[in-house]
Structure 1
Amino acid sequence: MNLAIVGAGASGAAAAYHLRRTDWNVTVFEKSRGVCGRAATRRKHGCTYDHGANYVKSGSDRVDRLLTETLPTDGLADIEAPVWTFGADGKIGPGEDRDEHKWTYEAGITQLAKRLFAETDAEIRFETRVGRLDCDGTIWRLHDTDGEALGAFDAVLLTPPAPQTADLLAASSWDDARLDELHDAVDAVPFRTIYTVVLNYDFELDHPWYALLDTDREHEVGWVAREELKPGHVPDGQSLLIAQMSPAWSVERYDDPSEEVKADAARLVADLLDDERLADPEWTDRQGWRYALPDDGGDAETLRTAEEAGLYVAGDWTAGEGRVHRAVETGLDAAERIADFE
């Protein structure tokens, strides 16, 4: 039996991992050059930084055990400093740090997907964007965005963000009402756009918190995290901030020149932390996440409407919560059902 997984993010990696001891032959199609999707890691000027998802929340016993007992634990780290909060007025204070553990890796959060895939025999085809699915009733045929055939499969698992999954379904061909039903359910899932700005400084910051969260969702800055508190990420004597801007600000500035956007974001962070030095970073980086976080989930029953025909979906958006552990859970859950597919 042959399975195609579209997307090498946390959910796709978890699904491949769960199926590693079954008779399924797994092929993963990934549009980028790396794994783990929005749980992304970069390296620059001696720094390692996670510019999408910042850590894996301890919100699932199953995922906790996977990270701390099943997969290799070398380089696994727990961020001990708490998350504080602020509001529209910019006033910072201790928050309710509900994340008992904040798991990460010295080599970056992408290690999660890398370690999951390393346990499998799955073939990963990078820089391959799936543009269309065709189904003749029993076999699913995949094509890239240029129309080139990618292979025939008994089942398909779609894991991209809901808007991209909806676009793929809209371009697909299957003479069955379930295709439209599934598309409409996926297309209804709302997503937030977030612009991430990375700010490096050649001095150390002294704060009692690891990150700040805007609980009012009205400030221009939505989240600021200190990457230097992750072991092995930032050289001694430096600071590196991950600033994730609010959805409204991100949408407004998304297509503006990146240098202008980064400079304006640095000034907003400096104002928030009341530290003028932060307006002049040593170096910067950026990433626009057009489909960053789901604001809701799709109807669970409808999202499974095509599974009898071998078409599955997974991802944090199917759970309605933009968390890495949710993505992993949905991948594991989908793989359990795929394992029983006949």
Structure 2
Amino acid sequence: MFDVAVIGAGMAGLSCAQRLRQAGYSVAVVEKSRGAGGRVATRRVQGTRADHGARYLEPQGDAVQGLIEVLVDRHILKLWTDSVWEFRQGKLSAIPNSCYVAPAGMNAVGKYLAEGLEIWFGRRVQAISTTDNQMWHLSLEVTDDNLQRPQELIAKAVVVAIPAPQALIFLDEKIGLSPDFTDKLRSVEYDPCISVMAGYPPSKQHDLSNLNPQWKSVSFSDNSDLAWVGLDSSKRLDPQQPVFVVHSSANFAERHLESIDLPTVGQELLDRTSGYLIPWLKEPEWLQVHRWRYAFCRNPLPVSCLAAEGTLPLVCAGDLCGEGQIEGALRSGLAAAIWVNSQLQNLQLDSSLNW
């Protein structure tokens, strides 16, 4: 039995769990995937790493700025570029912007925030119910081969830090939630994104050094298919070959989200990209594709976290609340921790944005 169960090991879940753990609560984090960080994600591929989720950290607000400072000081993050490029109406233009990346992969951010936490990876919440002695009971589905962890969890309070559509699978009126609470969750919408990781022959590195203008990050603000292209290998300390990551637009992702032939979808994105930036981008040595069904919250709720009333302590947090994006997720996780603390023992809890 735990004081708090946190569902989801993304930025909101981790920031919430850390604050509660540091205050003295027993906390278990349940995560369906194999690693921490949520959409701040990195994939090992072809002997290297590629960031197929969050592109970089930028000083969006005090929460992310504080995290950047700590991670730079610990040599987890480094400044990647001080300008990003935008492709608009056939032209590239530079926009000043400080972008920080992790040479070991952006999931190093999640690993840092997860330090000291008890996280049950490979577990998806199937259902939530209440016990006779007024506790939450979580039924868990095993999503990998690790059978060492139990398939149920008992806790006094629950923090739900996953996208609203996933939360609604097990959050409903049957467990005492009000229709107003679930209606608010149902109102939250997300834009999808398809991410392509592609590697190229080492001989192409020479072409990149002669690019004019030089760029590492290009956004497409008015393109029906493309949203962003990044030279991912430039984040690494010793890149062995050029690696690019391409993010689709929401419209493109919606058209191809259910495709069973993702390599062909990825190749289509590379074909589009090559027509705008570098012709040989359509000829990768290898490519991998990942679809993010809930990449960006389109209409966050105007609250820092969404607490349920009239039931045992339960609160939703994440980029579905407040400002959205990573800044909103970190702040929402902290707000959820403060609320849970108020419902339990009111221990001394660090409510600052220090990491």
TM range (shorter): 0.7 to 0.9
Deviates more, 1:196-205 or 1:55-64: 55-64
Change (3 A) 1:259 1:81: same
Distance 1:294 1:265 in 2: 23
Shift of 1:144: 2.2
Shift of 1:92: 3.0
Amino acid at match of 1:152: I
Offset from partner CA, 1:90-113 (integer Å, 9 cap, x none):
x1322544x4x3222111111112
Amino acid at match of 1:39: V
Aligned to 1:83: 84
Query: Unpaired runs of 5+ in structure 2?
Result: 143-149, 345-355
1:24-103 matches, cutoff 5 A: 24-69=25-70, 73-87=74-88, 89=89, 91-97=90-96, 99=97, 101-103=98-100
Distance 2:305 2:4 in 1: 21
Distance 2:86 2:244 in 1: 16
Q: Secondary structure at the match of 1:124?
A: strand
Distance 1:111 1:96 in 2: 27
Tell me which of 118, 123, 139 is aligned to 1:123: 118
Shift of 1:300: 2.0
Aligned to 2:239: 234
Aligned to 1:221: 226
Q: Is the 8 A contact 1:194 1:288 kept in 2?
A: yes
1:88-167 matches, cutoff 5 A: 89=89, 91-97=90-96, 99=97, 101-118=98-115, 120=116, 122-135=117-130, 138-145=134-141, 150-167=152-169
Distance 1:301 1:198 in 2: 34
Tell me which of 230, 250, 270 is aligned to 2:274: 270
Aligned to 1:208: 214
Q: Secondary structure at the match of 2:38?
A: coil
Tell me which of 306, 309, 317 is aligned to 2:309: 306
Q: Is the 8 A contact 1:31 1:128 kept in 2?
A: yes
Q: Is the 8 A contact 1:56 1:325 kept in 2?
A: no
Amino acid at match of 2:196: V
Aligned to 2:265: 261
Distance 1:108 1:303 in 2: 31
Q: Is the 8 A contact 2:199 2:242 kept in 1?
A: yes
Change (3 A) 1:307 1:198: farther
Please give the root-mean-square deviation of Cα atoms over the aligned residues, in Å: 2.4
Q: Secondary structure at the match of 2:28?
A: strand
TM-score normalised per structure 1: 0.87
Amino acid at match of 1:241: F
TM-score normalised per structure 2: 0.84
Change (3 A) 1:71 1:187: farther
Tell me which of 324, 329, 332 is aligned to 2:331: 329
Shift of 1:334: 1.5
Q: Is the 8 A contact 1:132 1:145 kept in 2?
A: no
Change (3 A) 1:276 1:175: closer
Deviates more, 1:207-216 or 1:11-20: 207-216
Shift of 1:70: 7.4
Distance 1:332 1:150 in 2: 26
Tell me which of 243, 248, 255 is aligned to 2:246: 243
Aligned to 2:186: 187
Deviates more, 1:312-321 or 1:124-133: 312-321
Q: Is the 8 A contact 1:28 1:125 kept in 2?
A: yes
